[in-house]
Amino acid sequence: MTSTTPAKKIAILGAPIEIGASQMGTLMGPDALRTAGLLTLLDSLGFAVEDHGNLSAKDVAALSDVPPGNARHYREIQRWIGAISARAYELARTGALPIFLGGDHSLSMGSVNGVARHCRESGRELFVMWLDAHADYNTPATTITGNMHGMSAAFLCGEEGLEGLLGSEPRAPIDPSRLELFGTRSIDKLEKELVKLRRISIADMRKIDEFGVGVLIRRVIDKVKAVDGALHLSFDVDFLDPDVAPGVGTTVPGGATYREAHLIMELLHDSGIVHSIDIVELNPFLDERGRTARSVVELIGSLFGQQITDRPTPTNAI
């Protein structure tokens, strides 16, 4: 971005929620990403960055719906999701590109819902790319653990079981055809059946090994561009191989390499379709001297145009 080009706006919001997962520590994720230089990097790339701090759900009133069975910490998570959804909607309306720093993946029930609500009002179709070792397509009826971070994608696609989660906050589910599971390598039996029933697009690690990330990411990009859609990137750090990113509580061997992940981010940058982002499941308590946080910041740099060697940048890039 040259000095004569107006800086694009980025809104940063931390959502330090950890009760959706079984392993505590993700509440430290937002501040770890800041400490690793995320805001400084984005500023150096020519963006106008506004940090809205960390959201708190402490003062949010509890609702009176009946909690579903097999959804751990439902009431506390409900407070978080309602607050996150409302703020996500407000930030999307400002015209800034919102980046939500997690926190466990349950936060996406709020962030994506708020962004989807704004897209719906704007007449634009929202797609969601789920970069994750897990499908997160469980419901209270299918989950083995009851952990709500494993229900996020299912909730966003309108699956039954969590109808009261948002209370009076408008729910804006996406069609399952707009969900792109990418990098999946761990999925429960009933969850797998539901994903198959909904005919959700899934690029598991076998497919990535066979075709390569470049081919598969371009397919997603083409699908979004065909309808002039917008993409929300939900980036779970466990998408990466544990050798690259040890600082997560749900490590699964055989994940994306450092270079594969950078290529994904570079191609998404060039496409210009990314309009909002989650970074979730970073657990600094499990990290090695901040190695995972630094790797994530470097990947976000590639998503926003950082280059090792100069290449022509498409005019519609982020």
Please identify every residue annotated as catalytic.
105, 132, 134, 136, 149, 236, 238, 281
Q: 272: left (phi > 0), else alpha (psi -120 to 50), else beta? A: left
Q: In whole angstroms, give the CA distance from residue 41 to residue 205.
A: 30
Sequence-distant (6+) residues with CB within 8 A of 169 are 82, 85, 86, 113
CB 91 within 8 Å of CB 166: no
Contact call for residues 281 and 152 (beta carbons, < 8 A): no
The one-letter amino acid code at 313 reads T
Give 156's DSSP letter: H
CA distance 206 to 254: 10
The answer to whether 85 touches 111, Cβ cutoff 8 Å, is yes
